[in-house]
A and B are shown apart, each in its own frame.
Chain A
Amino acid sequence: MSNFYKDNPDIEKTLDAIDLSEVAELCEEGFRFAKEYQFAPVDAADAIDNYKRALDTCGDIVGNRIAPTAEETDKVGNILNEDGSVTYAPGIKLAIELLGRSRLSGCTIPYYLGGLNMPCTILTACNDIVSRADASLMNIFGLQGIAETINAFASEDIKREYVPNLCNGTWTGAMVLTEPDAGSDLQSVKTTARLDENGVWRVNGVKRFITNGCGDVLLVLARTEPEFGDGRGLSCLLVEKCPQVKVRRLEHKLGINGSPTCELVFTDAPAKLIGQRKRGLITYVMALMNGARVGISAQGTGIGEAAYRAARDYAAARKQFGVTIDSFPALRELMCDMSVDLQVSRILAYYSSKCVDLENGLAKKFEALKGSPEAAAVRARMKKYAAFNKMLTPMAKYFASEMSMRVSNGAVAVLGGSGFMKDYPVERYLRDSRITTIYEGTSQLQVVAAIAGVMAGLYREVVADALDGVALSPALEEKRARIEELAAGVDSAVAFVKGHPAGKTYHDLHARELVDAAIGAVAGALMIRFAAKFPEKEASLDYWLATKWPVFHAGLARAKSGYTGSVELFETIAPAVVPE
């Protein structure tokens, strides 16, 4: 047992390296809340001290109380009772209670609604800590987007009715979007909501793969405008747990067994409209989804942390041929790879969260300053970060989720036969990691979301922003030149792809390599920033440059190969499977 914040100094170092001073000032709206609340911070240093104390509390609860329950949670899962109710695994029930008591379940919610008013970056760090103990718990704890969505878009009455109990753990929530025929393509949602004779919205339909669908507060995407068959006909409705909502089935899954994945049937379930009609998918779900992606970037990071630690610890103790196996060069390299992969994932996840905080905070500041001379500059910066986030959030989600698979796979390799057995937790990490590249948009979809920014050269602005105001030693300046050299490679490959006669097909075929290399450049800049603050990180930066640069260049060479056979010769290379 151990405090998962205190035993992992990289969390605090990463936060210090990205520097949350401006975020703290924006979140606290110039520290005006200190007058109203005894506990609210008076300046940035005070706020950042609070953030670290919140993480310390999170690390204590999660490391000392929850982590010991994770194995059993994975084994027993949740139970669907005959009456349609769901009984959580004991560890999950305990975690909801403890994290609610600490109020961390309302991490980003404003003070007046019972929250801690902390930035998204701190929720990301909490999710990192939570996922190290039990990735499946993050799917419930991390569903703070429900409260955030209600806070952002619902009427004041609805906010006051629902948000405080979501902050203190009395209630949990679910985002109810997916249907049997509407997964990645949410425009085709069939669930309906109509107004009855008493003016109450009634929801009817079936929803599938709903994480924590047994929760108390459901945000349901439903068609309120039958005349529109696409996204314009969808609205967001709040449905309370009630007899008209039945959990019909719990899914049996490869991993994240502590998270109940429900099939829900709505039969004339009473509902309240959130915000305006027709904006359900277009505005609200898009906002919710972005938050959820940030959450998965943290979940992947936490799984990677757990797997790395298990492997490193095992390798230091396991003896073969008379020596501990961490003395073999091949295993050293594997573990260096895992470690640097993890460090990069964390700083990318935290920095992309910070950019989300800057966008949100600057938007609020702009509203307050409207009409004053400074407003235009604030708006321009807000727009800059908004543009970053469209590319950066998918990049962070994509990188962290893929990293969690690589690192947990590596951990199984380090443990060898033992890693394959249920006696060690690494097989669980590998199983849990697999979903992270699928939900909240698959890796392929993250690439689709990020590629526009890469093609437009926006990633270069992110590189510049990441190093803005950072004093670099001559050695680090040289490394910055390596980033420039990779970026030149990306730009040249982008030009090739743009000019290829196969057009969009060629673009779709090679978007991934371009995005990979652009992430490499952004992450490289962040690691330089990290090393400028903490000199010991220079070794990780050097490893990243030495081992990954050739890989990114190879990817770019592939993007410039002109090869299109995988589309044109598809039927020949990957022949259809036909029954006998």
Chain B
Amino acid sequence: MNKKGYNCVVCIKQVPDTKRIGPDAMKEDGTVNRAALPAVFNPEDMNALEAALSVKERYGGKVTAIAMGLPAACAILREALMRGADEAYLVTDRKAAGSDTLATSYILSQAVRRFEPDLVFCGRQAIDGDTAQTGPQIAEKLGFPAITYLEKLDLEDGVAVAVRDIGTGVETDRVKLPALFTVTDRYGELRPPDVRRVMEYKKAKAPAEGGEGSGIGQLSCDDIGCEAERCGFAGSPTNVSKVASVVLAGGEYREIPATDEGIKAFVEGLVADHTIG
């Protein structure tokens, strides 16, 4: 159906590198001390970018990367351009500060809508919040079907054949486009950059970073038609009432007889109480 190929939008997030947690990683109030951790490209967003780039490679089209955040998030937009994205946009606005996943997905959906995408890709979840809510909420606001846990994707005449990881196996869905997909690391690793693109896009900047501001587009909440009361603190019903540190410690134990019967009884017990199955 799509002679020019598919229009793909990828939502990416800059997150603190949780692999390098030091003693000062958390503030006293239990929130993340972002200043103490290096900022990185959220790992599963890299898989999402790979999904979009492979659609472009196989079927033609265009890939647009969008990140919401402070101007520092341009670092991952530059990375996305180096890896093969055609365009990159920073959504940045004081009004967006303090957004929870509801407000974030509202703002991002407003940005995504502008590009009239056939396919939207998000990482399954970000390593700082681990909510996995933003992708599906964007889909809901766009009125797109949401296919979560994507690990393989083929396109046939405007229909996506998507294989998703359902924990105990895979499920294959056929879904009409436009649609949104959240992607896991099972999709495959992000391709390396063409070094020529590295040389070219190292200089790309958004106006918010100062300098000439070329190569990365910039959008404010007004630019994308957001209603102020749905952005930032105003639009965020989430309240963190308490953060507790949970320590998992050993307690009771049960011995399973090392016989076929013993194991059968054990597994049946797990199925019966819905631990598995």
Q: Give the chain B neighbours of A102 by CB distance below 8 A.
A: 192-195
- 19 CB contacts below 8 A, A to B, read A39-B196, A39-B197, A39-B199, A40-B199, A41-B199, A49-B202, A57-B192, A57-B193, A57-B195, A61-B192, A65-B189, A65-B192, A98-B192, A102-B192, A102-B193, A102-B194, A103-B194, A103-B196, A116-B196
Query: A105 to chain B: closest CB distance in Å?
Result: 10
Query: A357 to chain B: closest CB distance in Å?
Result: 18
- Give complex CA distance A49, B199 in Å: 9
* 67-103 of chain B: CB within 8 A of chain A: none
Q: Is B127 an interface residue (CB 8 A)?
A: no
Q: Give the chain A neighbours of B198 by CB distance below 8 A.
A: 50, 53-54, 57
Q: Contacts A50-B195, A57-B192 known; list 8 others, CB within 8 Å.
A: A39-B197, A39-B200, A50-B198, A53-B202, A101-B192, A101-B194, A116-B195, A116-B196
Q: Give the chain B neighbours of A65 by CB distance below 8 A.
A: 189, 192
- Taken residue by residue from 180 to 201, chain B's Cβ proximity to chain A (1 for < 8 Å, 0 otherwise) reads as 0000000001011111111110
- Taken residue by residue from 378 to 419, chain A's Cβ proximity to chain B (1 for < 8 Å, 0 otherwise) reads as 000000000000000000000000000000000000000000
Of B193, B195, B198, B199, which is in contact with the most chain A CB atoms at under 10 Å from its CB? B195
Q: Give the chain A neighbours of B189 by CB distance below 8 A.
A: 65
- Give complex CA distance A129, B196 in Å: 20
Residue of A nearest to B198 (CB): A53
Query: A36 to chain B: closest CB distance in Å?
Result: 13
Q: Is A60 an interface residue (CB 8 A)?
A: yes
Q: Give the chain A neighbours of B191 by CB distance below 8 A.
A: 98, 101
- Give complex CA distance A61, B200 in Å: 19
Q: Give the chain B neighbours of A41 by CB distance below 8 A.
A: 199
Let me know if B199 and A53 touch, CB within 8 A: yes
Query: B51 to chain A: closest CB distance in Å?
Result: 16
Q: Give the chain B neighbours of A50 by CB distance below 8 A.
A: 195, 198-199, 202
* 194-236 of chain B: CB within 8 A of chain A: 194-200, 202
Q: Give the chain B neighbours of A38 by CB distance below 8 A.
A: 200
Query: A383 to chain B: closest CB distance in Å?
Result: 33
- Give complex CA distance A38, B200 in Å: 6
- Within the complex, which residue of A49, A98, A103 is in contact with B195, where a contact is CB–CB below 8 Å? A103
Let me know if A53 and B200 touch, CB within 8 A: no
- Give complex CA distance A49, B191 in Å: 22
- Give complex CA distance A102, B199 in Å: 12
* 47-77 of chain A: CB within 8 A of chain B: 49-50, 53-54, 57, 60-61, 65
Query: A247 to chain B: closest CB distance in Å?
Result: 30
* 1-56 of chain A: CB within 8 A of chain B: 38-41, 49-50, 53-54
For chain A, what secondary structure do more than half of its interface residues adopt (helix, strand, loop), or is it mixed?
Answer: helix
Residue of A nearest to B84 (CB): A101
Q: Is A104 an interface residue (CB 8 A)?
A: yes
Query: B78 to chain A: closest CB distance in Å?
Result: 11
Query: A479 to chain B: closest CB distance in Å?
Result: 39
Q: Give the chain A neighbours of B200 by CB distance below 8 A.
A: 38-39
Query: A261 to chain B: closest CB distance in Å?
Result: 28
- Give complex CA distance A50, B193 in Å: 13
Query: B205 to chain A: closest CB distance in Å?
Result: 15
Let me know if B202 and A54 touch, CB within 8 A: no
Q: Give the chain A neighbours of B195 by CB distance below 8 A.
A: 50, 53-54, 57, 102-104, 116
- Give complex CA distance A57, B198 in Å: 9
Q: Give the chain A neighbours of B193 by CB distance below 8 A.
A: 57, 102
Query: A163 to chain B: closest CB distance in Å?
Result: 15
Let me know if A60 and B199 touch, CB within 8 A: no
- Give complex CA distance A101, B195 in Å: 9
Q: Give the chain B neighbours of A104 by CB distance below 8 A.
A: 195
- Give complex CA distance A98, B196 in Å: 14
- Give complex CA distance A53, B202 in Å: 9
Q: Give the chain B neighbours of A54 by CB distance below 8 A.
A: 195, 198
* 94-122 of chain A: CB within 8 A of chain B: 98, 101-104, 116
Residue of A nearest to B200 (CB): A39
* 132-183 of chain B: CB within 8 A of chain A: none
- Give complex CA distance A101, B196 in Å: 11
Query: A214 to chain B: closest CB distance in Å?
Result: 24
Q: Give the chain B neighbours of A103 by CB distance below 8 A.
A: 194-196
Query: A94 to chain B: closest CB distance in Å?
Result: 10
- Give complex CA distance A102, B193 in Å: 5
Q: Give the chain A neighbours of B202 by CB distance below 8 A.
A: 49-50, 53
Q: Give the chain B neighbours of A60 by CB distance below 8 A.
A: 192
Q: Give the chain A neighbours of B194 by CB distance below 8 A.
A: 101-103
- Give complex CA distance A41, B196 in Å: 11
- Taken residue by residue from 316 to 333, chain A's Cβ proximity to chain B (1 for < 8 Å, 0 otherwise) reads as 000000000000000000
Query: A568 to chain B: closest CB distance in Å?
Result: 58
Query: B98 to chain A: closest CB distance in Å?
Result: 34
- Give complex CA distance A40, B198 in Å: 11
Query: B80 to chain A: closest CB distance in Å?
Result: 15
Of B189, B192, B194, B197, which is in contact with the most chain A CB atoms at under 10 Å from its CB? B192
Residue of A nearest to B196 (CB): A39
Of B191, B196, B198, B200, which is in contact with the most chain A CB atoms at under 10 Å from its CB? B196
Query: B41 to chain A: closest CB distance in Å?
Result: 12
Query: A491 to chain B: closest CB distance in Å?
Result: 46
- Give complex CA distance A386, B246 in Å: 68
Query: B42 to chain A: closest CB distance in Å?
Result: 17
Query: A143 to chain B: closest CB distance in Å?
Result: 18
Query: A227 to chain B: closest CB distance in Å?
Result: 48
- Give complex CA distance A163, B71 in Å: 41
- Give complex CA distance A50, B197 in Å: 11
Query: A4 to chain B: closest CB distance in Å?
Result: 13
Query: B267 to chain A: closest CB distance in Å?
Result: 34
- Give complex CA distance A383, B199 in Å: 33
Query: B22 to chain A: closest CB distance in Å?
Result: 18
- Nearest 4 pairs of A and B residues by beta carbon: A39-B200, A39-B199, A102-B192, A39-B196
- Give complex CA distance A512, B13 in Å: 59
Query: A129 to chain B: closest CB distance in Å?
Result: 13
- Give complex CA distance A271, B191 in Å: 36
Residue of B nearest to A64 (CB): B189
- Give complex CA distance A41, B203 in Å: 11
Query: A307 to chain B: closest CB distance in Å?
Result: 26
Q: Give the chain B neighbours of A40 by CB distance below 8 A.
A: 199
- Taken residue by residue from 22 to 44, chain B's Cβ proximity to chain A (1 for < 8 Å, 0 otherwise) reads as 00000000000000000000000
